Structure 1
Amino acid sequence: MKLVERDTELSVLEGLLDACAAGRGGAVVVGGAVGSGKTALLRAFQERAAPTGALWLQATAAAAEREVPLRAAGQLLRTAELAGAGAEPVVWLPPPAGGGGAPVRAAAGAIPAEVAVNVVPRVCGILFAQARKRPVVVCIDDVHQVDAYSLECVLYVVRRLAVSRILVVLGESSGTAWEDSPARRELLRGPACRFLHVGPLPRDGVVAMLAAGQKGRRSAPPVPEFHRLSGGSPLLMEALLDDYADAERAGGAGPVPGEAYERAVAQCLSRSDDVTRRTAWLLAVLGERAAHGGPAELLGVSRQAGERALRSLHDMGLLADGRFRHEAGRTAVLRRAEPPRSARLEARVAQVLYERGAPATALARHLVAAETVDAPWALPVLLEAAEAALARDEVGTALDCLRVARDSCADEQQLLEVRLALVRAGWRVDPSAAVRHLSALTDAAPAGRLTTRAMKELVGHLLWFGRADDALEVLRIVEEKDGEEEGGEEDGAGVGLESVRFWFAYGYPGLAGKYRAEVAAGPYRGTAAGARTPGLTPEQDTQQRALALMASVLDQRVTGDVTGRAERILQETRPEDRTPAAGLAALVALIVADGLPEAARWCEILLAEAREHRTPMWQSLFASAKAFIEIRLGELAAAEESAHTALTVVPPEGWGAAVAAPVAALLYTKAATGRLDEAVAHLKVPVPDAAFRTPAGLLYLWARGHYQLAAGRPYAALEDFHRCGDLMARWRLDLSGLVPWRTDAAQVHVALGDDRRARDLLEEELVRTGHRPLWTRGVALRVLASLAEHADRPRLLGEAMDLLQRGGHRLELAYAMAELSYSYWDVNDDSRARIAARKAQQLMRECGIKAPVLKASPVGAASACPPERSGAGCAGRPPAELSGAELRVATLAARGYTNRQIAAALFITISTVEQHLTRAYRKLGVQRRTDLATRLEPDTVEDTGLDGCGDGARRDCLRAG
């Protein structure tokens, strides 16, 4: 720190040094606030004392070494460079009574008599011996932290200054308990001792510091603002100058406290005593509610100590009129200062803030730190703060508030309210933590100790954890109240009951099937077409329309554009909504209605919002839905990652009965990619029996059936698929878009040679009424082709591939392409067979199946590549009949390039392209562009993907030519 405006203080110190050299020893206490420049003043004095030949002995005390005997005295003697002097003080200390450890004080502020008589004179004798040779300056900085033994040595020397050439210079920080100590009073009462106060910089001092740092600046800094913000503290001034330089480089103007200022504030507090630090923290917390006399009372210290701490903070330059000079000072204290770990203090602060009208969010922070508060106002405040935290997606804060509320609550009725809030908040993070509260809440419902709203909410949580019978009993109690809703529940209360019935009806369709008709005839019927319901909040209206759409799809009474209505609902779904019900319902409707690309896009959006709002359960739910979308699109690697995310963000024990869904996704992907050993591990994940009363259980049975099929156990697979069919028929949820059990079972019957049963299932699937997804019809046609005559198979497989390609179902398309390869091979069309096989392999690799073996599909052969046929000629004409130009054009056309792209790549006109294609069609005997690939050599045409135009197309031409 550069010393400015301290000439007067230096003159006083130089005068004392001159007197010392003349034989009149003295002492001076240099006091000032932390950061006032005391240490810089002492260093400047040391530089001026060096030419006089005086021996300078330096020591700096520290709080961490306060209990080490003669620590400061040892520093002084080591500075004197006397042989053995640094070790002698420790050797001279007598052993403590009882042995071991350092000597203890005889009383507060005193040292053992034996040390005072034998040790202190010998230590000080070294200093007096040096003073007989030349003047000696004994300088101890931060003397308020000095150990008692060294302090006794200082007092011993000061009492004998009149007959020595020793100048004792002691630096102290103001605002500490040292100011009231007997040792300090004795020092200042001595006739040879003076007190030198280092105060804040005046305006001229601030100008001098600004002038020293003015070099290279574009404009003169505003002196009054710097003086006001720093309070005259040199330490804060230097920090403000650093921040000012950074702001000026960034194009800002004027002194704005920043990072350097915050660090300086933290440094000031770290060098202050505990009372001062706690006072600063208290004032920062109270903000505008702070009062001049408040800190001492709240901190539980004497009024004198509180006033001293306030004065110290003013002298440091942090406060003005009891408030922080700048909001950055308050922010620095809150951000960088360690808060006091005192539950009693936190409780007192909370009480004061409550009396002064602080909001619940401000109070809750102190109530949580206080752990338990008996005040009657504490519980409502904690509940309000928890609700506010949940609205901000700060679930951890909400749970902290609720746990303290639970521990502080003596009233059983209020405790039930707190338990329900804990379940509500905990579900968003890890529902397993909420299980312990369900039994108490369930027992309270028949006794009438829960409100209607609380019971509706309880039903949902009981359903989640598979306690459907308990949920049904609670729902009956709600219905028996017959509209006895409490005040404040009128708006939307009926919708809340219908929502509970809805999730019961479709979540546990076998148990609560009676609610299906009620739901269909209730408020959801009018919103099935997307109409808005007046009198509802936007969130309630969006949720009602989403549930109505999902119900209409599951009940196969949907009309109109499902995809458009679902996307409109998803656009209105906000991440701050209490539950993801509307988003999940719209996604289910999209998936079952085969709107998979749109569902995948919205899953990405909802997942990103859930991550941003730090809601793990929502992330897991949307990740699980995304996994099944990716499975149907053939993106097996992505599906595995999504399912893994779902079970990692929230562990299996937190999923309740719904755990069957993400486990099913992992089980299917491992089986489909041939990793059966890894699939076995997922079979060991506990799935509760209640899961098989829900649609999630259907997905698990479906995935397990595919695993059994891949593992070579067709009868076990058949049992799982038919069990799916039985449950779906019983629940009146026989939807191919939910679980395509008929086509899966038909595949197994084909593998077992039961063609009649397979054909019956497939024909039943193809003639079903209602919405039929493209992929289920495509799969049914693919399997049916294996039962048809050889000549009819390519036609059926072509229809299947057309449906699967339109729906984007690449894995099923790969299976169909492999079947097409074998159908060509069966009719001796080897060229087409090889082309189809190559395409099937490519599609499988894109889906994540590295080996060409179709382990997940027993239809037809077990490989995507038919065996080579010895001596068989190609069924197609050799492309040698085409000219070079015709071959190049036909090759690009077969690969999917348009006439315009071909013309650009070959530098010919579009008319020329058309002429070449016409001749190629005639020579190869084809009529459509799509047939070209089957008539060219497979090495010439490798894929049907459109790679682009330009250089890529030209490379294709070179390979073809």
Structure 2
Amino acid sequence: MQIERRSALASVEESLEESLSGRGQLVLASGVIAGGKTRLLAEISRHADESGTLLLTATGVREEHDLDLAAICHMAANAPAAASALRKIVELAGGNTPSGPGPVRPALDHLVPSVSALLLELARDTPVVIAVDDLHFLDQASLRVLLYLRRRLATTSMLLVLSEWDRPGLPKRPLHADLTRQPDRRIVLGPLSRAEVTHIAAGPGGPPMPAADVYALTGGNPLLTHALAADLRAGQAGGAASGSRTAAGPHYRQAVLDCVSRWDPQLMPVARAIAVLDEHAGPQLAAQLLDLQTEPVTEALWNLTAAGLLTHHRFRHREMATAVLESLPPEDASRLHTRAAELLYEQGAETLDVARHVIASGRVPGRWALRTLRHAADHALAAGDSELAVRCLELAMRNCEDERERRCYRMALIQVAWRVNPSAAARHLTPLQNALRAGELAPRDAVPLIRHLLWQGDRHTALQPMQAISRATSPADARAVAELKLSFDLIYGSRPTDPLHPAGDAPSPSSSGDQWTRALTAIEPLWPQGATEETIRSAEYILQGPLEDTLPEAGAVALLTLCSADQHKRAAFWSTSLYEEAVRRGATTWQAIIGCVRASLALQRGDLVAAEAQASAALDMLSPQSWGVLIGFPLTHLLLANTGMGRHDVAAGFLERVVPEEMHDTVFGLVYLHARGHYHLAVGLPLAAASDFEQCGVLAKARNIDNPSLAPWRNDLAQALLRQGQRKKARRLIEEQLRHPGGRLQPRTRGVSLRLLAAVGSPAERVPHLTESIALLEAADARLELARALADLSQAHREMGDLSQARLLARRADQEAKACHAEVLPTLHTTAVPERSHTRPADQQDGNSMTALSDAERKVAMLAALGHTNREIGHRLFITISTVEQHLTRIYRKLKVRKRTDLLAKIPQPYLSENSDVLDSPPALGERGRLHASSSH
């Protein structure tokens, strides 16, 4: 016996003892539906049977309510051999035990005295326990027998144990009322306590279950509790994870259906109405939904609440409502949801609530529903529920008969797709492309379609409609033209021969339209002209606008405008604000684009770890199909961040990713080339790096996007040339970059140019350039570039013999580089290194394992192989002991060795001879590390 009924069973046992002594008792157990009455009677019957008494059991059945002596016939059928006389009397009277629908039996009222007398006679010879369940369903004749026994019970050895459904406020039949008026013991079975529920759900020997979770699923209902326990045991036997142990299973769902179907036929329809109406459920609305009077619905609600299924006219747990809804036949579910939508619409309920019922019904009952779905889609987008918006629009589109209106729904669906998954818009494009070619789309409606073509790199297909839109002069179309130009320029730059930059006399949108349109137009020429005070003001005006009114491209250009003007703090503020708003609204595309901008900001300030994390998260938010040619945006930042941290294998993995061929003719192809060049530079391939940077220059000029804030290709190419020893060519490029308008206006770019200019001069000439470079980079908060400039200045002071100043600068460079997690590589003005192949495993390097290492790693490896300690290596190479240890870790991994004594076997003897200058140079005792990352970006 479970804990929740022990006290009740003990009470009945006391009554049984009284009956055995000749003082008969009547015990009445009452409770709500599924309240444990049947389980209690089963325990009592088992106990009585074990005590040697004669046990007679019967159960009231609703369908046999009008069959005389139906319950007594059940009792006779189940009676043991000692009560064979009882069966014989019923059989002789023609009262065979009913077994279902059939011919009506003859009235058996005349047998009541005989049956009653026989039962009393049985009690004279042996104690008798009569247990009757569901007394409220008993037929009249059976009730007369029990009432007859009740009136003569006091002097017999008989115990009557009866159970009834507790339904306060409802009158009982006279015989039922007389029988139960004054029982000797009354047991009221209430809901289980939280402790009892937890004990049952845990099972024998099992760990205690969270009481709040289990109680929420059961409401203290014994039937539900035991069913849930069965599901939990089955889950444990099947190896279910502990995190899912409170999940409802088939036993629980069936128990819910039993609770709403076995006791009263009115319960199931009311339960279904409550499940359908959900938060709007109530007696009046449920009655209207079912076309019933309020009184029977109110009664059913009381019973369901008392049974622990409902609270405040709603199912206490979603699993309960789900079980009831799943039992609905599809046609009934559709009918109920349609009717619910109509009722809520008539009552002026929220648009989203009405739309959810229309969607659940799968059909549109009228024009009012189409309007509701369209408005609900707008509300859903504002609330960040893009999935609901799509379902609203798709249902409306399928049920709309007007082709023009259906086209509007398609356009709206494309707009929603752009928020969460741009590739999902593809299936709606063909009908709209036909309308676009036929000139049936207004400029504003054509923008999302053309944007999709641009994102997918299909610039040629978009040429004709773009030309048509660029000639639009209506003020209403001005914003559409400005938005499309901005999208085009972000992806392809602003080449004058492109269709959105005609040489005709069409009026510029900047001279007409509202302030928003003028702001969009103002920031458009970002790449060719760079940032100005006007563009900065316009960018912030756009960033202050509502998210739903702003294209991701417009937000990205506005942020990049601030970045190009070195307004990093303002850009960081707006990017964080926009990103958080995009998360709240579920605008995935926004999150991905702004995430890339945030990664760019992190790179500029030298936070390589943050840049890698933000770019990686952005890349994962959209599929490659959704990214289209813009996939170069996150890949660029991932390449630069991992290259800067020395994670060359990871960076190489991103280079191996397949990208659209069309990407290489875009702005994002330019920045991708820029990042690939820095990877090649970092792994010791200056010729490949120079080729990438030269292509950057060609593309930047061709697309009219030669802006250092995008890709300072002159500085980059100069670095590659310096690594090859071509100092004169490098100087020309650096000086050209210093004369470039963008280079003069941007402290960060100018600071890098001055550092590179110092690399081609004498030590005395280097110091002034590096000092100015450091001041500019500090002002721009470019910590990684600052670390490189400090390292170069430290080297310059060391070569001039100022070792004290060199040590201070080296220490500071070390701190800045560590903060950026930057890799350690040689300075720019050291001897040029020979071209080498891409890094491969040591056993695949044509016999020369040293080519798997970077320049700095080769020097450390040679010195360690010859027996130098870490401190000696640090003094000789002017790096910290910690840096030596980091190098050795990478060296061991690349050369596949476990300790430094194995290194000598991996280093070819000719290589040691060729690099004797490294081994023979005298150490500078006391020098601290000089850290320098691979390149500038």
TM-score per shorter chain, which class? Answer: 0.5 to 0.7
Contact 2:760 2:829 in 1 (8 A): no
**One-letter amino acid of the counterpart of residue 401, structure 1:** C
2:761 alignment partner, SS class: coil
| 1:55 to 1:473, Cα distance in 2 relative to 1, 3 A | farther
Q: CA deviation at 1:453?
A: 2.9
Whole-angstrom CA distance in 1 between matches of 2:506 and 2:569: 32
Deviations 1:869-913 (CA, angstroms, capped at 9, x unpaired): 99xx99xxxxxxxxxxxxxxxxxxxxxxxxxxxxxxxxxxxxxxx
5 Å-filtered alignment, 1:826-841, equals 826-841=799-814
Alpha-carbon separation, structure 2, partners of 1:384 and 1:351: 16
2:777 is aligned with 1:804: yes
2:312 counterpart of 1:311: no
Q: Which amino acid aligns with 2:260?
A: S
Q: CA deviation at 1:590?
A: 0.9
Identity of aligned residues (%): 30
Q: What letter corresponds to residue 817 of structure 1 in structure 2?
A: L
2:498 is the counterpart of 1:513: yes
| Matched residue, 1:650 | 622
Does residue 386 of structure 1 match 2:358?
Answer: no
Q: Distance in 2 between matches of 1:477 and 1:841?
A: 57
Partner of 1:272: 260
Q: Counterparts of 1:715-730 in structure 2 under 5 Å?
A: 715-730=687-702
Q: SS at 1:468's partner residue?
A: coil
SS at match of 1:594: coil
Distance change >3 Å, CA 766–CA 844, structure 1 → 2: same
For residue 787 of structure 2, the aligned residue among 789, 814, 827 is 814
Equivalent pair of 2:759/2:828 in contact (CA under 8 Å): no
> Residue 131 of structure 2 corresponds to which residue in structure 1?
138
Provide Cα deviations, 1:839-886, integer angstroms capped at 9, x if missing partner: 32322211112x52259998979659999999xx99xxxxxxxxxxxx
Shifted more, 598-607 versus 858-867: the winner is 858-867
Instruction: Report the equivalent of 2:485.
Output: 501
d(CA) in 1 for partners of 2:135 and 2:831? 88
- The change in CA–CA distance for 1:769 and 1:282 in structure 2 (over 3 A counts) is closer
Give distance in 2, aligned partners of 1:142 and 1:523.
Answer: 88
1:619 to 582, 591, 602: 591
Q: Following the alignment from structure 1 to structure 2, what is the Cα–Cα distance between the partners of residues 752 and 57?
A: 105
The one-letter code sitting in structure 1 at the alignment partner of 2:373 is: L
Residues 34, 221 of structure 2: 8 Å contact kept: no
How many angstroms apart in 2 are the aligned matches of 1:296 and 1:857? 87
Contact preservation (8 Å) 1:546, 1:582: no
In 2, are the aligned partners of 1:637 and 1:847 still within 8 Å (CA)?
Answer: yes
Distance (whole Å) between structure 2 residues aligned to residue 263 and residue 367 of structure 1: 31
Q: Structure 1 residue 171 and structure 2 residue 164: aligned?
A: yes
Q: 1:468 to 1:586 in 2, by over 3 A?
A: same
Summarize the alignment of residues 446-465 of structure 1 with structure 2, pairs less than 5 Å apart. Answer: 446-465=437-456
In the alignment, the residues of structure 2 paired with residue 312 and residue 762 of structure 1 have an alpha-carbon distance, to the nearest angstrom, of 85
Alpha-carbon spacing, 1:501–1:565, altered in 2? closer, same or farther (3 Å): closer
Q: 1:264 to 1:784 in 2, by over 3 A?
A: same
Secondary structure of the 2:533 match is coil
Q: Which one of 400, 407, 415 corresponds to residue 416 of structure 1?
A: 407
Distance in 2 (CA, whole Å) between partners of 1:578 and 1:39 is 64
Q: Structure 2 CA distance, aligned partners of 1:61 and 1:546?
A: 80
Contact 2:467 2:499 in 1 (8 A): no
Instruction: Please state how far the C-alpha of 1:414 moved relative to its aligned partner.
Output: 4.1
1:297-328 deviation line (CA, Å, top 9, x unaligned)? 4xxxxx69x97454322566799xxxxxx994
CA shift in 2, pair 1:317/1:439, >3 Å: closer
Gaps in structure 2 of 5+ consecutive residues: 1-10, 63-70, 84-97, 104-117, 183-187, 195-213, 225-255, 262-267, 327-332, 834-854, 877-923, 932-937
After superposition, the CA RMSD in angstroms is 5.9
Give SS of 1:171's match.
strand
Equivalent-residue separation in structure 1 for 2:135 and 2:748 (angstroms): 82
Verify: 1:753 aligned to 2:725, yes or no: yes
- Structure 1 residues 397-796: aligned runs within 5 Å: 397-409=388-400, 412-478=403-469, 483=474, 492-509=476-493, 513=498, 515-516=500-501, 525=510, 536=514, 541=515, 543-544=516-517, 546-551=519-524, 553-556=526-529, 558-560=531-533, 566-567=539-540, 570=543, 572-575=544-547, 577=549, 579-769=551-741, 772-796=745-769
Structure 1 940/839 Cα, relative in aligned 2: closer, same or farther at 3 Å? same
Answer yes or no: is the 8 Å Cα contact 1:35–1:235 preserved in 2: no
Q: Is the 8 A contact 1:33 1:312 kept in 2?
A: no
The code of the aligned residue for 1:140 comes to D
CA contact 2:351–2:376 (8 Å) conserved in 1: yes
- Given that 1:627 and 1:640 are in contact with CA atoms closer than 8 Å, whether structure 2 keeps it comes out as yes
Q: Which amino acid aligns with 2:478?
A: G
Distance in 1 of aligned mates of 2:31 and 2:739: 95
CA distance in 2, matches of 1:824, 1:443: 70
Structure 1 residues 371 and 128: CA distance shift in structure 2, 3 A: farther
Aligned residue runs from structure 1 range 145-184, under 5 A: 167=160, 169-172=162-165
Query: How many angstroms does 1:265 deviate by?
Result: 10
Q: Give 2:884's aligned residue.
A: none
Closer/same/farther in 2, CA of residues 475 and 157 from structure 1, 3 Å limit: farther
Name the count of aligned residue pairs: 723
Mapped partners of 2:215, 2:290: distance in 1: 30
Q: SS in structure 1 opposite 2:164? A: strand
1:337 corresponds to which residue?
A: 321
TM-score scaled by length of structure 1: 0.62
Distance 1:554 1:517, change over 3 A: farther
DSSP-derived class of the 1:499 partner: helix
Report matched runs for 1:809-888 at 5 Å.
809-849=782-822, 851-854=823-826
Change (3 A) 1:385 1:788: same
In structure 2, the partner of 1:295 is: 289
Verify the 8 A CA contact 1:797 1:816 in the aligned structure 2: yes
When residues 711 and 333 of structure 1 are mapped into structure 2, their CA distance, relative to the original with a 3 A threshold, is closer
Q: Is the 8 A contact 1:777 1:803 kept in 2?
A: yes
- In structure 1, the residue matched to 2:68 is none
TM-superposed deviation, 1:741: 0.3
Mapped partners of 2:778, 2:59: distance in 1: 82
Distance 2:930 2:56 in 1: 89
TM-score by length of 2: 0.64
Tell me, yes or no, if the aligned pair for 1:634 and 1:847 is still in contact at 8 Å. yes
SS in 2 for 1:138: strand
Q: 1:652 and 1:555, CA in 2 relative to 1: closer, same or farther beyond 3 A?
A: same
Give the distance between the partners of 1:441 and 1:449, measured in 2 at CA.
Answer: 9
Q: Could you say if the C-alpha distance between residues 411 and 757 of structure 1 is closer, same or farther in structure 2, counting changes exceeding 3 Å? A: same
Distance 1:707 1:40, change over 3 A: closer
- 1:225 is aligned to none
Structure 1 residues 645 and 785: CA distance shift in structure 2, 3 A: same
Q: Distance in 2 between matches of 1:756 and 1:453?
A: 53
Choose from 354, 360, 363 the match for 1:363. Answer: 354
What do the CA deviations read for 1:623-663 (whole angstroms, capped 9, x no partner)? 10011111121111111111111112223332121110101
Contact 1:509 1:694 in 2 (8 A): yes
